[in-house]
């Protein structure tokens, strides 16, 4: 039987949680050969390898080894490296996920080689053109062949932008699939014990977006607010490599590290991080994925951004946008309010990868006859 070769592109930490459930669907099938391609954007073991192992993924078949540098460098080098790979090893389909630099780099490269492209998490928009991720989303969604959306707002956005209906399938949220798959392991994880947080009130802080960390002025304001909040609530802060670099460069790292009620820790493996989130009183973040995970679990999320490409987490979930000027008051208000209930968003049910897999079967039905 003829088989279909599918490249699954992973680059940065959150991509792995979105690709893993689909990889497991494809590897079980009789007709697909899923091929993992790691572009190298996140290269530290604690940003990549540990996530692959936890989610029972094999070592990627190909490593493009593109890391560091500017957005243009990352995008350009990834295009060159992926083009060389496609020349030797042309797949029947390239699947890209999310909004990172490798998403647009590999989508563009595949298209120019005549390879169809599918985009997981299509249709999200922050309407903030200063974010590199927004440019990546817009550009990827202007050239994809298949659009797999996580929620109805994303589907409607693509329709409004003129994407043909037959190319859009609202499969739901693949990141929630990973959470559902690993839920038991997440519950068993011992991180709260290790950090002596069992049965204690604490918050989790994470941020890494260029708008928050690349300007010393903004980063200093955030650091001051975090310290102020730690007067009211113990805070655990897994520091992203970009953030660490900037904190050290702007001489703010020690200020945080010496604050009594703040626990600065390394980026955490998936199970440990989700375990921490699960029993936190509040999460303060600028991450995209965490806005979704907190909504699914029912933990209050304060997003330190002016906008979100995931509005459904606000309208139906536990998410609120905050600024450096409002975050302290919002934390106080959150601590006083009753805990939110677990929210239900259509398609966030642990079955998104199954729906995507069924769509892939339809796409390749002719070829597989
Ligand atoms: C990227 C994504 C962002 C996503 C985030 C998830 C883009 C434009 N941004 O941001 O959408 O939310 O990943 O974490 O693609 N570094 C290390 N070790 C690593 C990885 C990175 O030291 O394992 C360093 C890099 O060399 C760089 C910095 O951290 O100096 C930032 O990494 P970068 O790839 O620019 O993107 P992120 O800020 O992580």
Mean predicted confidence (pLDDT) in 95-116:
98
Report how far apart, in Å, the C-alpha atoms of 345 and of each of 56, 72, 286, 336, 360 are: 27, 36, 21, 25, 23
Identify the residue whose C-alpha is closest to ligand 1 atom 19.
Answer: 42
* Nearest partner of 331 among 206, 223, 232, judged by Cα: 232
pLDDT of 1 over the 80 cut = no
The predicted pLDDT at position 343 comes to 82
pLDDT band at 342 (very low <50, low <70, confident <90, very high): confident
Pocket residue to mutate for ligand 1, from 104, 175, 208, 213, most atoms within 8 A of Cβ: 208
Helix axes 101-112, 71-88, angle to 10 degrees: 40
Mean predicted confidence (pLDDT) in 216-245:
98
Counts for the chain of helices (H) and strands (E), in that order: 18, 13
pTM of the model: 0.96
Length of the chain: 369
pLDDT of 369 over the 80 cut = no
Catalytic center residues: 208
- End-to-end, the C-alpha distance of the chain in Å comes to 9
pLDDT of 71 over the 90 cut = yes
- Helical spans, DSSP H, in the chain: 13-28, 49-54, 71-88, 101-112, 132-141, 152-160, 174-188, 191-194, 210-213, 216-230, 241-249, 253-257, 270-278, 288-297, 312-315, 327-336, 352-363, 365-368
Report how far apart, in Å, the C-alpha atoms of 246 and of each of 121, 210, 303, 323 are: 29, 10, 20, 20
- Span 145-183, pLDDT tens digits: 999 999 999 999 999 999 999 999 999 999 999 999 999
Backbone torsions φ then ψ of 280, nearest 5 degrees: -80, 155
* Ligand 1 closest atom vs CA 103: 15
How far is 148 from 245, CA to CA, in rounded Å? 35
How far is 163 from 177, CA to CA, in rounded Å? 26
Spatial neighbors of 29 by CB under 8 A, at least 6 apart, are: 357
pLDDT of 133 over the 90 cut = yes
The predicted pLDDT at position 341 comes to 80
pLDDT band at 65 (very low <50, low <70, confident <90, very high): very high
Distance 230 CA to ligand 1 centre (A): 26
Report how far apart, in Å, the C-alpha atoms of 100 and of each of 4, 121, 313 are: 26, 12, 20
- Ligand 1 lining (C-beta closer than 6 Å): 12-14, 41-44, 47, 67-68, 71, 99-101, 132-133, 208, 241-242, 245, 287-288
The predicted pLDDT at position 89 comes to 96
Distance 16 CA to ligand 1 centre (A): 14
* Nearest partner of 120 among 7, 213, 200, judged by Cα: 7
Report how far apart, in Å, the C-alpha atoms of 37 and of each of 83, 133, 140, 285, 293 are: 12, 20, 18, 29, 25
Mean predicted confidence (pLDDT) in 229-256:
98
């Amino acid at each position: 039987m003829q088989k279909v070769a599918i490249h699954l592109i992973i680059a940065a930490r959150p991509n792995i949680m979105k690709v893993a459930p689909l990889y497991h669907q494809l590897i079980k099938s009789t007709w697909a050969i899923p091929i993992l391609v790691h572009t190298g954007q996140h290269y530290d073991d604690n940003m990549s390898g540990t996530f692959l192992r936890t989610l029972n993924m094999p070592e990627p078949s190909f490593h493009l080894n593109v890391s560091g540098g500017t957005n243009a460098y990352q995008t350009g080098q990834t295009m060159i490296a992926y083009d060389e790979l496609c020349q030797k090893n042309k797949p029947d389909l390239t699947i890209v996920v999310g909004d990172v630099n490798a998403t647009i780099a590999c989508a563009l490269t595949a298209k120019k080689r005549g390879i169809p492209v599918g985009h997981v998490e299509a249709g999200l928009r922050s309407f903030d053109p200063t974010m590199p991720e927004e440019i990546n989303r817009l550009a990827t969604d202007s050239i994809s062949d298949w659009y797999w959306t996580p929620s109805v707002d994303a589907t409607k956005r693509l329709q409004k932008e003129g994407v043909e209906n037959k190319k859009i399938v609202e499969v739901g949220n693949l990141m929630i699939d990973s959470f559902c798959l690993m839920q038991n392991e997440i519950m068993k994880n011992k991180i709260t014990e290790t950090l002596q947080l069992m049965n204690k009130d604490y918050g989790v802080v994470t941020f890494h977006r260029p708008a928050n960390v690349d300007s010393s002025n903004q980063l200093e304001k955030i650091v001051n607010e975090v310290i102020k909040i730690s007067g009211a609530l113990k805070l655990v802060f897994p520091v992203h490599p970009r953030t660490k670099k900037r904190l050290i460069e702007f001489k703010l790292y020690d200020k945080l590290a010496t604050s009594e009620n703040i626990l600065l820790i390394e980026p955490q493996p998936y199970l440990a991080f989700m375990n921490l989130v699960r029993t936190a009183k509040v999460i303060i973040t600028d991450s995209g994925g965490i806005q979704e995970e907190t909504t699914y679990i029912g933990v209050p999320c304060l997003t330190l951004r002016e906008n979100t490409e995931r509005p459904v987490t606000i309208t139906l979930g536990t998410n609120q946008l905050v600024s450096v000027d409002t975050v302290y008051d919002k934390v106080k208000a959150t601590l006083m309010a009753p805990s939110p209930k677990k929210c239900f968003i259509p398609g966030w049910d642990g079955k998104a990868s199954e729906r995507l897999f069924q769509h892939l079967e339809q796409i390749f039905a002719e070829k597989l006859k």
